[in-house]
């Protein structure tokens, strides 16, 4: 099954590029930039990857970003992800980056944007993967900060397709960012937001009603609210689900308790994503493999998940049609 899974054409829509920094690359970049790290050996660093919740992960995730200094660092990180994405059968990826996290530690926007966008620009030719870039704002920072950074991104004509909202969810509801999303919509940007990862279903309602987002990142806690499930099914709102992330951050106890099968049964528009693969035990192919191992998903279910990822993307319609046709060929080749 492994070979078939990694040859299944698909898109990844929920991926934090800073969450693809593997421990080996962290230490290599630290050495290249002469940065002393708190956990200077692979063994010491790897020992930190046990998380109790979202915040305990975020602490390590932000600390490890210290090694990203030059545009070349951002480009190397992005290229490493694209290579891994190619191996897992991804044909289109939409990656988030955290501009404020870099600004807060003194790395300017142009360095991050040029490094990431430079690697993405070569992706179709180098890896056969089409791409889009999403600027994610830190919901535990102020809306004023987000508005300032969005204005800077627009002024520099950064090649972003949309905005997202990430970091510590509980206590930082969508209502805090109404003006940010208005401003982004006026600028012609696509809108997504994390909601219902650790936060209650009200965060999903508010992301839809107050921010007018087109996609919800995570959204698993929606299953606690039957009226919300009914709406998500009726409107076919895409939910970018991240199974291994949810296990590692203890949003669910074990994979067997993950709501994805119930979400599929409720006819929700779900797809499978890796979130922060260097931290959560695997890339998108590992997420699919874990689902097959746990739930015994058949080829039709896998193809539904892949088709959802392609249809829910911000890729041009011709690209979606091309990838859906590739997926149909893959499906026909399965027993």
Q: How far is the CB of 217 from ligand HPA (least distance, A)?
A: 8
Using the rule CB under 6 A, which residue among 76, 94, 197, 285 binds ligand HPA?
197
Give me the catalytic one of 169, 197, 198, 326. Answer: 197
Q: How far is CA 261 from CA 83, 113, 140, in A?
A: 30, 37, 31
Q: Which is nearer to Zn ion, 217 or 285 (CB)?
A: 217
Q: How far is the CB of 59 from ligand HPA (least distance, A)?
A: 11
Residue 54 binds which entry of ligand HPA, Zn ion, none, CB below 5-8 Å type-dependent: ligand HPA
Helix axes 178-186, 143-155, angle to 10 degrees: 10
DSSP 198-235: SS-HHHHHHHHHTS--SEEEE-GGGGG-HHHHHHHHHH
Strand partners, 239: 216, 270
Q: How far is the CB of 333 from ligand HPA (least distance, A)?
A: 34
Cβ-contact 109, 151 below 8 angstroms:
no
Q: Which is nearer to Zn ion, 139 or 330 (CB)?
A: 139
Using the rule CB under 6 A, which residue among 94, 276, 285, 326 binds ligand HPA?
276
Cβ-contact 120, 138 below 8 angstroms:
no
Strands lying side by side in the sheet with 190-195: 10-12, 90-97, 130-138, 162-166, 190-195, 215-218, 238-241, 269-272
Q: Which is nearer to ligand HPA, 139 or 320 (CB)?
A: 139
Task: Give the total of residues touching ligand HPA (CB under 6 A).
Answer: 11
Q: Pick out residues in 270-289 that bind Zn ion (CB under 5 A).
A: 275
Q: Does 166 bind ligand HPA (CB under 6 A)?
A: yes
Alpha helices (runs of H) in the chain, residue ranges in sequence order: 2-7, 23-33, 42-46, 54-64, 71-87, 99-103, 109-121, 123-127, 143-155, 178-186, 201-209, 226-235, 243-248, 260-265, 277-280, 284-295, 299-311, 317-333
- Active-site residue 197, yes or no? yes
Q: How far is the CB of 13 from Zn ion (least distance, A)?
A: 10
Q: Pick out residues in 286-325 that bind ligand HPA (CB under 6 A).
A: none
Q: What is the distance between the alpha carbons of residues 256 and 267, in angstroms, rounded to a whole number?
A: 19
- Is residue 32 classed as helix, strand or coil in its secondary structure? helix
Cβ-contact 161, 188 below 8 angstroms:
no
Q: Does 275 bind ligand HPA (CB under 6 A)?
A: yes
Q: Does 64 bind ligand HPA (CB under 6 A)?
A: no
Q: Does 16 bind ligand HPA (CB under 6 A)?
A: yes
Q: Which is nearer to Zn ion, 183 or 194 (CB)?
A: 194
Residue 127 binds which entry of Zn ion, ligand HPA, none, CB below 5-8 Å type-dependent: none
The residue nearest ligand HPA at its CB is: 166
Q: Does 194 bind ligand HPA (CB under 6 A)?
A: yes
Please give the positions annotated as active site. Answer: 197
What is the contact surface with Zn ion in residues (CB under 5 A)? 275
What is the contact surface with ligand HPA in residues (CB under 6 A)? 16, 19, 54, 61, 166-167, 194, 197, 245, 275-276
């Amino acid at each position: 099954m492994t070979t078939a899974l990694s040859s299944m054409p698909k898109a990844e829509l929920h991926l934090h590029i800073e969450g693809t920094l593997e421990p080996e690359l962290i230490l290599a970049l630290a050495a290249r930039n002469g940065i002393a790290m708190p956990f200077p050996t692979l063994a010491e660093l790897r020992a930190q990857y046990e998380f109790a919740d979202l915040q305990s992960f975020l602490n390590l995730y932000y600390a490890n970003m210290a090694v990203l200094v030059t545009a070349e660092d951002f480009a190397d990180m992005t290229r490493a992800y694209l290579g891994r994405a190619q191996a897992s059968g991804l044909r289109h990826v939409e990656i988030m980056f955290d501009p404020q996290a870099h600004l807060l530690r003194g790395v300017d926007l142009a360095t991050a944007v040029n490094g990431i966008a430079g690697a993405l620009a070569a992706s179709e030719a180098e890896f056969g993967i089409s791409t889009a870039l999403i600027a994610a704002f830190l919901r535990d920072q102020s809306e004023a900060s987000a508005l300032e950074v969005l204005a800077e991104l627009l002024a520099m004509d950064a090649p972003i397709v949309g905005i997202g909202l990430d970091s510590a969810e509980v206590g930082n509801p969508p209502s805090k960012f109404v003006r940010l999303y208005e401003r982004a919509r006026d600028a012609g940007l696509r809108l997504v937001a994390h909601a219902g990862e650790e936060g209650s279903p009200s965060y999903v309602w508010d992301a839809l009603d107050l921010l007018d987002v087109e996609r919800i990142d995570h959204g698993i806690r929606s299953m606690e609210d039957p009226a919300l499930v009914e709406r998500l099914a009726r409107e076919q709102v895409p939910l970018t689900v991240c199974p291994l992330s949810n296990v590692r951050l203890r949003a669910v106890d074990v994979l067997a308790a993950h709501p994805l099968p119930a979400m599929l049964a409720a006819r929700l528009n779900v797809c499978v994503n890796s979130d922060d693969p260097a931290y959560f035990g695997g890339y998108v192919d590992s997420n699919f493999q874990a689902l097959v191992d746990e739930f015994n998903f058949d080829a039709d279910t896998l193809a539904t998940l892949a088709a959802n990822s392609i249809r829910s993307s911000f890729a041009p319609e011709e690209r979606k049609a091309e990838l859906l046709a590739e997926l149909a060929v893959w499906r026909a080749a399965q027993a």
